[in-house]
Structure 1
Amino acid sequence: MRAVVFAYHNVGVRCLQVLLARGVDVALVVTHADNPAEAIWFDSVAALCAERGIPYITPTDPASPELFAQVRAAAPDYLFSFYYRHMLPAALLALAPRGAYNMHGSLLPKYRGRAPVNWAVLHGETETGATLHEMTAKPDAGAIIAQVAVPILPDDTAHEVFGKVTVAAEQALWQVLPALLAGSAPRLPNALASGSYFGGRTPADGRIDWRQPAQVIYNLHRAVAPPYPGAWTVIGEETYTIAKARLEVRSARDFAQNLAPGLAVADGRILGIGGDGRVLHIHALLNGGRAVSPIDLQHALATHPALPIPPKKGVEIQ
């Protein structure tokens, strides 16, 4: 069986390796050129292709006639998309007579759309996973072929959960691929009405609203903690980003001084006080990439008290 594979990121690398291990003839890989403005913390599909001698290209427009001609010339039986960042036109999908399949980082139909792992952590989910599904013109809407679930522990960051989802994607594809190639894979309904759809996130969406309950603030931190841009707040004209934190058992009332919502220093520690009085112990706080000590923060707060400013809302489509 021949396949054209659209792939990027760790999921792209691992799932491409599964295809190769199962004996699929990968005729062409379509990936992205890394963006120099983006922090590249993940593995490279292009590097894997170079190592394995697989032809690969990095077009900017998935709807271009040139890409269509290259995919058609590869004469694929199957088309796969593994964390490729663009929607593929229906005309491209039709070039694969035995089907086009995408690996999505959630338990569909929940968290269709962009950044599914980050959204799941942000909403305090206790479980997510990876889903292989048929590709259609509508995003993440085709029949479900395979799913593997993973837990989200209370202190897991999105980066840690993404590692689990990568393994889940590898397992899902490995388990169902023989049946898929034999034409006997299951096609389960993707009940969109019982799911959800979310748009992309930007660094601006990480701004903390200290009036929110501490658990909500903690979930935001976990969802965007490094290597993502981080949850942040402003003191004066300076931006402070939480790099590492834990939700405390104690509340603001357990400290000697009166602690208002926002950043604070107490008992020689940096704290974040939620609107419900619960406390985050901030183990690492950054300002311009530089570590901020409790004394540094105390001085900044004395000069410019922080205000519980609401964040800019991200794009959210239900």
Structure 2
Amino acid sequence: MKAVVFAYHNVGVRCLKVLLARGVDIALVVTHEDNPQETIWFESVSSLCRQHGIASIAPNDPAAPELLAQVAALQPDFIFSFYYRHMLPATLLALARHGAYNMHGSLLPKYRGRVPINWAVLHGETETGATLHEMAAKPDAGAIVAQTSVPILPDDTAYEVFGKVVVAAEQTLWRVLPAMLAGNIPRLPNNLAQGSYFGGRKPEDGKIDWNRPAQEVYNLYRAVAPPYPGAWTIVKERTFIVGKACLSAKLMENLPANLPRGLAVVDNRIVGVCGDGRTLLINELLADGQTVTPEALKNILL
């Protein structure tokens, strides 16, 4: 069986390795050039292709006529998309004899759309996963082929959950691929009315509103904690990013009452006071890429 694969990021690398291990002929990989404005903390699809002698390209537009012609000439049995960042046009999807399939980082139909793991953590979900599904004109709307769930623990950051979802994606594809190659492709309902759709997030979306309850602020921190851009706040025209934090009632028992909302220093510890009177213990606070000590913050707050 021959496949054309659109892939990027860790999920792209791991799922490509599954295809190779299952004996799939990968005729072409379409990936992205790394953005110099982005922190690249993940594995390289391009590097994997070089290691295995797989042809790879990184066009700007997956709808370009020349790409359509190139894929058509390869006559693929399957088209796969593994964390490729662009929607693929229906004319391209139709070129695969046995269909086109995408690996999405949620338990569809929940959290269709962009950055699903970050949104799931932000909303305090206790579970997410990876779903392989047919690609359709609408994003993440085709029939479900297979999915695997993973837990989101109370203190997990989106980065930690992403690591679990990478493994879930690998497991999902590994289990269902033999049936797909044999022509027995499961097609389960993807009821969009029971799900949700979310768009992308920008660094400015990480601004902390200290008037919100502590759990919401903590979920924001977890959803965008480094290596993502981080949850941030401004004090006296300086921007501070919460690098590490925890929410623990026991640690906060002896704090003074009526602390003002926002950053504070109590007993040589940095805390963030929220709208419900509860606080985050901030174990690492950053400004201009450097760690801010409790003493330094105290002087800034004076």
Q: Give the TM-score taking structure 2 as reference length.
A: 0.98
**How many residues get paired?**
302
Indicate the residue corresponding to 1:31 in structure 2. 31
- Give the structure 2 partner of residue 210 of structure 1: 210
Tell me if structure 2 keeps the 8 A contact 1:111–1:197. Answer: yes
- Residue aligning to 1:70: 70
Q: How far is 1:252 from its partner? A: 6.7
Matches within 5 A, 1:265-280: 265-280=265-280
Gaps of 5+ in 2: none
Separation of aligned partners in 1, 2:235 and 2:66:
50
The letter for the 2-side match of 1:85 is R
C-alpha contact (below 8 Å) 1:132/1:145 kept by paired residues = yes
Amino acid at match of 2:110: K
2:10 counterpart residue number: 10
Deviations 1:224-257 (A, max 9, x none): 0000000000011110000000002158773236
Q: Which runs of 5+ in 1 are unaligned?
A: 303-318
Question: 2:42 maps to what in 1?
Answer: 42
2: CA distance, partners of 1:235 / 1:73: 58
CA contact (8 A) 1:252 1:277 kept: no
Give me the whole-angstrom Cα distance separating, in 1, the residues matched to 2:212 and 2:250: 17
- Does the Cα contact within 8 Å between 1:250 and 1:278 map onto a contact in 2? no
RMSD of aligned residue pairs (Cα, Å)? 1.1
Q: Distance in 1 between matches of 2:21 and 2:288?
A: 44
| 1:148, distance to aligned residue in structure 2 (A) | 0.2
Following the alignment from structure 1 to structure 2, what is the Cα–Cα distance between the partners of residues 253 and 274? 15
- Between the aligned partners of 1:175 and 1:257, the Cα distance in structure 2 is 54
Identity among equivalent pairs (%): 70
> Within 2, Cα distance between the matches of 1:290 and 1:283?
13
Question: 2-side partners of 1:210 and 1:260: how far apart?
Answer: 10
Which portions of structure 1, spanning 4 or more consecutive aligned residues, are displaced by more than 6 angstroms?
none
Q: Give the residue type in structure 2 aligned to 1:214.
A: A
2:248 match: secondary structure: strand
Write out per-residue CA displacement over residues 13-39 of structure 1, whole angstroms, 9 at most, x where no aligned residue: 000000010000000000000011110
Asked if structure 2 preserves the Cα contact closer than 8 Å seen for 1:80 and 1:102, the reply is yes
* C-alpha distance after superposition, 1:141-161 (max 9, x if no partner): 000000000000000000000
Is contact 1:248-1:278 (8 Å) kept? no
TM-score (normalised: structure 1): 0.93
